[in-house]
Amino acid sequence: MQLKYIIYIFFSLILPFKGVTQELKIVDSKLTIESEVGSQISTNIKVQNVSDHIIVLGIIKSENNIRSSQVSKFCLDNDCTEKDIVSTDVFIKLMPNQVYDGFLAQLETGLVPGNSSVKYVFYNTSNTNERIEADLNYIIKEKTKEGVLYSSADIKLSDVFPNPVKEIAIFNYNYYNPDKEVKLVIHSVLGSIVSEFDLSPYESSLKIPVNEYNPGVYFYTLYIENEGVATKKMVVRK
């Protein structure tokens, strides 16, 4: 009788956890990310319902080991928040074998290099034992020196930084020939001009607030005497 009782206790303990690793699965997601200070990282975490029944998915940010200058948030279908728990009106319904790919974990890397981590838990709202964890590990390094977009006897202009940019796009330059007219033009992917800036021979930096720019891809072109000499891509994020 004692052996039967032990077997009964054993199975009564393990059966409630049967679905822990079988109901939900993280697929095609990179959970260790390297980046630089002064940037924003967006990581797509895809969660699959591998069961044969419908699951209503809930999400919790269970750990948030980040530095004081960093900000961690997540986005569901482009709706972003810094809250710890997704509210009940945005729980996600997953059909059998469906993959949900509308979840983005974001980290503003701040000003100090080092390692940070954030943990999210995806769970079945009708049975919280059915859950899967996503441990995001961030390796944040010192920013490498900005590159050079263009250099000549007239002017030397750096690439934009940071890139992607959220608040202010910065271009450093050395103006060697004040007799030359030099300007920087920002244009959309369709080629339309968004902004235009004359570079001053008496300055060494151009700072462009991007708060009125829509998020997306832009191109910046350096013009000398109204002739375009170099173009590169800039990404604006909110």
Give per-residue pLDDT as tens, 193-236. Answer: 999 999 999 999 999 999 899 999 999 999 999 999 999 999 99
| Tokens, residue 203 | 């300055």
- 123-152: average pLDDT: 86
The pLDDT tens digits of the residues spanning 66-96 come to 988 888 888 888 777 766 555 545 578 999 9
Identify the CA nearest to 132 among candidates 26, 226, 209: 26
Domain boundary (141, 161, 191) is at: 141
Percent of the chain with pLDDT over 90: 49
Q: Is the residue at 101 inside a domain?
A: yes
Domain boundary (141, 167, 195) is at: 141
- Distance, first Cα to last Cα, the chain: 66
Q: Say whether both 110 and 163 belong to one domain.
A: no
Q: How far is CA 33 from CA 29, 40, 44, 176, in A?
A: 11, 11, 11, 40
Identify the CA nearest to 50 among candidates 77, 79, 83, 25: 25
- 147-154: average pLDDT: 89
Q: Say whether both 137 and 175 belong to one domain.
A: no
Residue-range definition of the domain harbouring residue 81: 23-141
Q: Is the residue at 60 inside a domain?
A: yes
Handedness of CA 195, 196, 202, 204 (dihedral sign): positive
Query: What is d(CA 186, CA 177) in angstroms, rounded to the nearest whole number?
Result: 23
Q: Say whether both 38 and 88 belong to one domain.
A: yes
Q: Say whether both 155 and 125 belong to one domain.
A: no
Q: How far is CA 206 from CA 97, 114, 157, 214, in A?
A: 51, 29, 10, 20
Is the bond into 215 cis (omega within 30 degrees of 0)? Answer: no
The pLDDT tens digits of the residues spanning 153-195 come to 899 999 998 888 988 999 999 999 989 999 999 999 988 999 9
- What single DSSP character describes residue 212? T
Identify the CA nearest to 67 among candidates 133, 138, 134: 138
pLDDT of residue 39: 77
| Tokens, residue 135 | 């441990």
Q: Say whether both 28 and 132 belong to one domain.
A: yes
Q: Say whether both 85 and 123 belong to one domain.
A: yes
Count of structural domains, the chain: 2
Contact 169, 234 (CB under 8 A): yes
pLDDT of residue 68: 86
Collect all residues with Cβ–Cβ distance below 8 Å to 15 and sequence separation of at least 6.
none
CB atoms within 10 A of CB 235: 15
Collect all residues with Cβ–Cβ distance below 8 Å to 65 and sequence separation of at least 6.
116, 117, 118
